Structure 1
Amino acid sequence: MQRITNPDDLFFPVDTRPIFTRTGGLRPDRGIPAPGKMVIVNSAKDEVLGIEGRNYRLVTNRDAFACARACARAAFPETTEDEWEFLAAADATQSGSYCHIDLSHRTGQLDFN
């Protein structure tokens, strides 16, 4: 895992694409679709991040970060989502296929009652 200190490095665009394979048969140039599978791609770099099944729901790092801020806001209703920030660094795979982001409250003054 690498340490990411700039959240923008985690918020790259991603996309899903169908997967094809080639056979060694009569038409080796013809792609055959892999049913029920798709590839997850970093659209900015055109790099493959992983392969998933048809029921996989793609959630971008940006969307996951927004959801985490909303959850923190729900847990601490006296705060706003904007008060929850990206903590100094995040752990991520080299490809960026997944990451662990810690949130920090801007003031650190929270009501635990």
Structure 2
Amino acid sequence: MRGWKLKRTAQCAKCPWRKDVDPHDIPNGYCETKHRALVDTIAVEGDLSNLFGPLRMMACHELEDAHCVGWLANQAGPGNNIGLRIRLHSCENADRIRLVGEQHETFEATLP
């Protein structure tokens, strides 16, 4: 599999996965309706349907066409998104992913 690179590796200041961010203060049109629609990007335990097909991802609200770094860290870690984990093996800069502060452990916690 050919290598690829993340456009962003550092978590942004207003990432909803950060516990110190109020999701209502996220810029660029971010709102509760858009946030709730992102539930489709969260891995479902035992569901392996994303292993070979397209991967639904949470995009960064600041940078066009980039993954949300908080989502990446969650889904590659406690979210146990197997399809994402497999894809990250060919990512040339996945080792540069950097989070800021405490993170929410679940998608549901990102919008209290």
TM-score by length of 1: 0.24
Give the number of the structure whose residues are more often strand, by fraction. 1
Give the TM-score of the pair, scaled to structure 2. 0.24
Q: Which has the higher contact order (CA 8 A, sep 6+)?
A: 2
Structure with a larger share of its residues in helix: 2
